[in-house]
Amino acid sequence: MHLKNINLHQFKNYHLVRAEFSNEINCFLGTNGSGKTNLLDAIHYLCFTRSAFNTVDVQNILHEKSFFTIKGDFELEEKNIEIKCIVESGKKKQMLHTGKAYDKMSEHIGLLPVVMIAPDDTQLIKDGSEGRRNFFDSIISQLDKPYLHLLVRYQHFLKQRNALLKQFSESGQIDQSLLEPYNIEIINLTKSIYIKRETFIQDFLKGLQKHYGVISGEKETVEVVYQSDGKDLDFETKFKASLSRDIILKRTNKGIHKDDFVFTIGGYPLKKFGSQGQQKSFLIALKLSQFQILKERKGILPILLLDDIFDKLDDLRIAKMIELVANHEFGQLFITDARPERSKQILSTINADKRYFNIKDGMLSPD
């Protein structure tokens, strides 16, 4: 699978841009703020229906404009397909597959697997559980359509139950008959989603540990400890017993939406006890494991987006990444860098087709 070209119209800082890409390595070069990462984000939109950085679609429209479009031509399993994204203020977002609009965005998820390694990845370690849930949910959703449907269904019933809890809290009156249908759905969906997450993590962990050893050369054991209410055999009883607290707080406090994936090194939390080098190695290993499992399960090499990694990694980790690229472990790559000569020097040792693009003030030109 590869992206042949892209057309942007009024997306972020680009007024009108078109680019033709190499099937192997593409490097976007320009100063910070020139729009390099915005190009990666446009590719992410085409593959995953949304931005990797700003989930409010209208905020990605060029300033003082009312819409944006992103269009790309892909080659997938020897077939040419066109994907187009249209976002217009006040209207529903559209994704079109070769001219035909999807009824639901979820129908597109998984068709074009993509993996991004970016500076903001440190938030997966440092921030709360929501980011880690979203990370693993995004991978499983690309591999398992029924899982995505379960998640959508769960969020629907959670939203409805929370609205009832707020109503009960403000009125001081509780109607169990109204609440019970939502209780049943959330309890059953929690158990189903838990099983799928637990099964996935056991498989994912093997790749993570392998890549961590290769990238870091360290001997510590890394783990992902999955914490979930769903594994509690007495979950249904505890869920219903939490009603009083739920009403006070006006939200559901037990369920799959409270899950966490705790990253550890040597048995201790990576967030507190991992050095900067260990955390960087873990994050790269995490993304490489994501790439590997998508590749193995789908039989397709995902597109790999590398945002500013040469600035964020030390020489050892850069060398390990380039070794993987040189061994053709990946398919199509898109790389950003603020220092053109550095990128050209690092990539000069790799026997692959390379294309460089200079970016300045929302304009893109081949090098």
* Cα(122)–Cα(287) distance, integer angstroms: 12
Determine whether the annotation assigns residue 35 to a binding site.
Answer: yes
Q: At 227, phi and psi to the nearest 5?
A: -110, 125
Q: What are the pLDDT tens digits along the chain (367 aa)?
A: 999 999 999 999 999 999 999 999 999 999 988 999 999 999 999 999 999 999 899 999 999 999 999 999 999 988 999 999 999 999 999 999 999 999 999 999 999 999 998 878 889 999 999 999 999 999 999 999 999 999 999 999 999 999 999 999 999 899 999 999 999 999 999 999 999 999 999 999 999 999 898 887 767 899 999 999 999 999 999 999 999 999 999 999 999 999 999 999 999 999 999 988 889 889 989 999 999 999 999 999 999 999 988 877 777 778 777 888 877 788 899 999 999 888 898 888 888 899 999 999 888 998 8
Output the pLDDT for position 324.
Answer: 80
Specify the pLDDT at position 301: 93
pLDDT at 319: 79
The pLDDT of residue 349 is: 85
Residue 36 assigned to a binding site? yes
- List b or e across 339-360, with b for residues whose CB sees 16 or more CB atoms inside 10 angstroms: eeeebeebbeebeeebbbbebe
- Annotated binding residue at 30? yes
Residues in Cβ contact with 182 at an 8 Å cutoff, skipping those fewer than 6 apart = 157, 160, 161, 164
Residue 277 has what pLDDT?
83
Is 230 labelled a binding residue?
A: no
What is the torsional sign of CA 261, 264, 270, 276?
Answer: negative
Count of CB atoms situated within 10 Å of the CB of 135: 16
Domains of the chain: 1-113+300-366 (3.40.50.300), 128-298 (1.20.1050.90)
Q: Is 69 annotated as a binding residue?
A: no
Q: Does 79 count as an annotated binding residue?
A: no
Q: Which helix (H) or strand (E) holds 315?
A: helix 315-326
Which pLDDT value is given to residue 196? 97
